[in-house]
């Protein structure tokens, strides 16, 4: 997975779809947020909160919350109408006003056997 992101991140950045945020304290990175953006212009533009983390020594400063607030503000500034937290029912997502969305399974068969199965769950 790490190798895939190392390869994909520069390509996503080159086409303007990558949003990386970092929070520093006294020059030290204490939190990061990895987001993706849909290509603009398009109606109902979305940004996606893919992955984030923070140094637990600074939990009392709520760096994750601050970075998400910053990312949502930037997404809005760029014309996004939704900030998608992707799958999972983590409590912090609902504190931002997330709502569950139904997702569907798509199954494709070729020659009588399953060729691919895609399943996802999303919290918006």
Q: What domains lie within the chain, and their CATH numbers?
A: 2-123 (3.40.630.30)
Residue 102: how many other CB atoms lie within 10 Å: 6
* pLDDT, tens digit (0-9, with 9 covering 90-100), for 35-78: 999 987 788 899 999 999 999 999 999 999 999 999 999 999 99
What is the structure's pLDDT at 122?
47
Give 38: exposed, middle or buried? Use CB within 10 Å, 0-12, 13-18, 19+.
middle
Band of the pLDDT at 111, cuts 50, 70, 90?
Answer: low
Token pair 């983590």 in the structure block, residue: 90
- What percent of the chain is modeled with pLDDT above 70? 88
Distance CA 100, CA 5 (A): 27
């Amino acid at each position: 997975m790490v190798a895939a992101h190392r390869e994909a991140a520069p390509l996503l950045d080159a086409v303007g779809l990558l949003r990386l945020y970092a929070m520093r304290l006294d020059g030290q990175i204490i939190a990061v947020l990895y987001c993706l953006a849909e290509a603009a212009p398009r109606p109902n533009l979305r940004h996606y909160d893919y992955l984030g983390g923070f140094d637990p020594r600074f939990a009392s400063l709520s760096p994750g919350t601050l970075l998400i607030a910053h990312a949502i503000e930037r997404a809005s500034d760029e014309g996004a109408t939704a900030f998608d937290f992707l799958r999972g029912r983590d409590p912090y997502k609902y504190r931002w006003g997330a709502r569950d969305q139904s997702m569907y399974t798509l199954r494709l068969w070729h020659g009588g056997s399953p060729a691919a199965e895609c399943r996802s769950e999303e919290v918006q």
